[in-house]
Amino acid sequence: MGQRAGKLISGEIAVKSALTRGSVKLLVIAADAAPNTQRELTRISSLKNVPTISYGSKELMGRLTGKSPRSAVAFTDKHMACGALGVIGRGDVKFKS
């Protein structure tokens, strides 16, 4: 839903670009993303004061977004970001198989 509304960005390059522009409200990095990717995204998000969490795997991120495996996803809407944090915190993540 967020992807179609333009409020969810996925993939390392697109996420870096959105972080640099300052449009990201929440960054979620796959726990199995490459160490350099994790370091670079965390560095940029820290400079931009963007909350960042590590969650799941690249495969799970891809499945949740309906795409191929993704190292990171970024929420550009604060309400969607808050909702995502709540879902992740409760462990209610669901996806189509």
pTM for the complete prediction? 0.84
1 compared with 29, residue with greater pLDDT: 29
Does residue 97 lie in a domain region?
no
Number of compact structural domains in the chain: 1
Residue 92: band (very low, low, confident or very high) from pLDDT cuts 50, 70, 90 = low
Q: CATH code at 84?
A: 3.30.1330.30
- Tell me the residue range of the domain where 56 lies: 2-90
Q: Is the pLDDT of residue 23 over 70?
A: yes
Does residue 82 lie in a domain region?
yes
Does residue 12 lie in a domain region?
yes
The pLDDT assigned to 16 comes to 95
The pLDDT assigned to 95 comes to 44
- Nearest to 78, CA basis, from 7, 4, 6: 7
Handedness of CA 3, 5, 51, 93 (dihedral sign): negative
The pLDDT assigned to 65 comes to 87
**41 Cβ partners below 8 Å, 6+ apart?**
12, 15, 16, 19, 27, 29, 33, 52, 71, 72
Does residue 95 lie in a domain region?
no
